[in-house]
Amino acid sequence: MKSSLVQTKVRIAFFFLFVCLLSVLSSETGRAAELTLARDGRPTAVIIISSSPTATEQLAATELQTYLRKISGATLQIANTLPGIEQTTVRIGVYGAAPVAEWRGERPPTDGFSIETLGNSLWIVGGDARGALYGVYDLLESLGVRWFMPGEMGEDIIERQTISITQVQKRGAPAFRAVSGLIWAGGPGANDWERRVRATVGPPNSFFGHNWSNIIPPTPENKTAHPEWFALHDGKRIDQLCSTNPDVIRITVEKAREFFDQNPDALTFSVSPNDGEEFCECDRCRALDKQYGVTDGTLTDRFVHYANQVLNELAKTHPSKQIGVLAYVQHTRPPHSARPHPNFATIICHTPWEFCHVHSLDDPACPRNRRFMEYVSGWAKVSRHVGVYDYYGHFYAFTPWPILHDIRRDIPLLERIGVERFMSETQQNWANQGINFYLAAKLLWNPKQDADRLLAEYYERFYGKSAAPMRRYWERWESAMIETAKLGDGGYKWFEMFTPALIAECAGYLAEAERLAATDREVVRRRIAFARKGFLFTQAWTRLRYHGERGEYKEAVAAGEEALRRIDETTDSEPQAFFTWLAKSQTEKIIEPYKQALAKQTGTQITTKP
């Protein structure tokens, strides 16, 4: 009996020990599954970076610290050494290096990252330093931070005093090898925005432009001493180069080597002609065209031949480097019979005057874009390094440029067919075109995202109580542009959408948004006021064209002067409402003929600006 009692007591003791162990194990499992970075506005974790961090790694830690404080009010310490074993940490670093050297996953690609909870640590491991930084931004987005536009006005944060991370194991990497251009010409806060939305991808100099004037400057001295270096056109030597001249080829090789020696991380050296449409007609250039069977006046084969000669020499000293030529104007289409060197790169320009933005690239109803896609496919068959150059911010129209219907279809299409680089000449016209830039940035990182969900979140979070009328406002510009398809594809026919009736309709949506915003957050009121600045310019610009086309020159000039004032009123705004100097100069070009016509009509003399 006594023995039985002892055994019972032992069993009870073991039971309680088992329960305690289970409790401890459950607690430990919970802690591994959920890490708390801040509780009730106080820090509960430490950010760990290398003891000798690069500027980018330091920035990653600082950005994480800054935005966790904006979310919760808690300021996490940034340290270079690991604290006690029980302390929760966020480790940020490059694969294989401190403080993430112990992480055993597969190395992320360049600009890519892995985020994983292990033990008491949240690991943010980059394939390189920028990849680690992009991992931080991905984490912050998962916590509700959004950067819809540059500056404080474009930032949207969901605040809460406690921040907990549930168990996570995530990899992220850009869809394209290289992306650039969404902050063309900069602007206040633009660099920070571009970085935070991960809109810069790829090695330095993945993209390139017109460069002959840098290879051999068309100075009077050069043209006098060596006229044969320059293109012969209509019997005159012009600023383009003669790409078949042996000295030009030799100098180009020298300049390429010099460039790569000075910029060892650069990927591509441009040998693309200067902007313009006049090129060499000398006997040697014409003979080369004939050699490649060119009879249509295009110049692609000639410039592929030139680039190949440069690459053959460059390979002796810089075998991994690339030479780039834009596919542009007379050299847009793929070559007839010239075959590019393996390190030849091209970027095909989807120019708004030649091709079409009323239709998406794969719209079967659009012959211009069908031709463009034939060019893309043709280049992809002969070159491994093909990019596309587009225009998501307009360089001539500073009104709404309603091409979301293109962006949402074109970016996934280009990624699917293997285009490796994407460049947008995105002029910084945030008041009227910023919604393009945001959607493009999100899809260029991950084209598989749901564009409808991205836009729905944009309207709801950016415009608050005014989301519904502001959505109607932006979608009405979009539908008006699509309706211009009946006028034909391509070019600037879509300008016909800007009518007094459309202006009046959109004015109503904006007024409703302003009424609703009166009881919303101050930042929402500022965002809608910003849209109002864009609308006032658009309203004046529309009257400028409307009256001018009807011969009502006095009214047209007055409207044009108002449009210029509207631009001036936004000087130094953040974000940049308009790319100011270009918006003014392009608008002045529209006004000028009406000024001249008014002077002739009234018999007065006007002074043209120099």
pLDDT digits (tens, 9 = 90+) for 498-517: 999 999 999 999 999 999 99
DSSP 376-433: HHHHHHH-SEEEEEEEEE-SS--S----HHHHHHHHHHHHHTT--EEEEEEB--HHHH
Strands 322-327 and 344-349: parallel
DSSP 72-140: HS--PEEESS---TTSEEEEEEETTSTTSTT--SPPPPTT-EEEEEETTEEEEEESSHHHHHHHHHHHH
* φ, ψ for residue 408, nearest 5 deg: -70, -25
Burial 157-188 (b: 16+ CB within 10 A, else e): eeeeeebebeebeebbbbbbbbbbbbbbbebb
CA distance 80 to 128: 18
Structural domains of the chain ordered from first start: 33-173 (3.30.379.10)
Beta bridge partners of 165: 35
CA distance 157 to 11: 55
Contact (Cβ atoms closer than 8 angstroms) between residue 444 and residue 420: no
* φ, ψ for residue 270, nearest 5 deg: -85, 135
Amino acid symbol at 78: I
Contact (Cβ atoms closer than 8 angstroms) between residue 578 and residue 557: no
Q: Tokens representing 257?
A: 């080597």
State the pLDDT at residue 405.
97
Q: Rg of the chain's alpha carbons, rounded to an integer? A: 30
Strands 42-43 and 34-39: antiparallel
170 sits in which H/E element: strand 169-172
Give the pLDDT band (50/70/90) at residue 605.
low
DSSP 335: P
Q: What is the pTM (predicted TM-score) of this model?
A: 0.91
Residue 360, class by beta-carbon neighbours within 10 Å (0-12 exposed, 13-18 middle, 19+ buried)? middle
Q: How many residues does the chain have?
A: 610
CB atoms < 10 A from the CB of 505, how many?
A: 15
Contact (Cβ atoms closer than 8 angstroms) between residue 434 and residue 190: no
DSSP 7-68: HHHHHHHHHHHHHHHHHHHHHHHHHHHEEEEEETTEE-EEEE--SS--HHHHHHHHHHHHHH
State the pLDDT at residue 343.
98
State the pLDDT at residue 29.
39
Give the pLDDT band (50/70/90) at residue 6.
very low
State the pLDDT at residue 86.
85
Per-residue pLDDT, averaged over 429-446, amounts to 98
Contact (Cβ atoms closer than 8 angstroms) between residue 315 and residue 346: no
CB atoms < 10 A from the CB of 241, how many?
A: 25
Amino acid symbol at 53: P
pLDDT tens per residue, range 237-293: 999 999 999 999 999 999 999 999 999 999 999 999 999 999 999 999 999 999 999
Residue 561, class by beta-carbon neighbours within 10 Å (0-12 exposed, 13-18 middle, 19+ buried)? middle
Instruction: State the maximum Cα–Cα separation within the chain, in Å, rounded to a whole number.
Output: 128
Q: What are the distances in angstroms from CA 78 to CA 31, 42, 129?
A: 22, 15, 17
Q: Which of 341, 344, 369, 365 is nearest to 354 (CA)?
A: 369
Give the pLDDT band (50/70/90) at residue 584.
very high
pLDDT tens per residue, range 509-555: 999 999 999 999 999 999 999 999 999 999 999 999 999 999 999 99
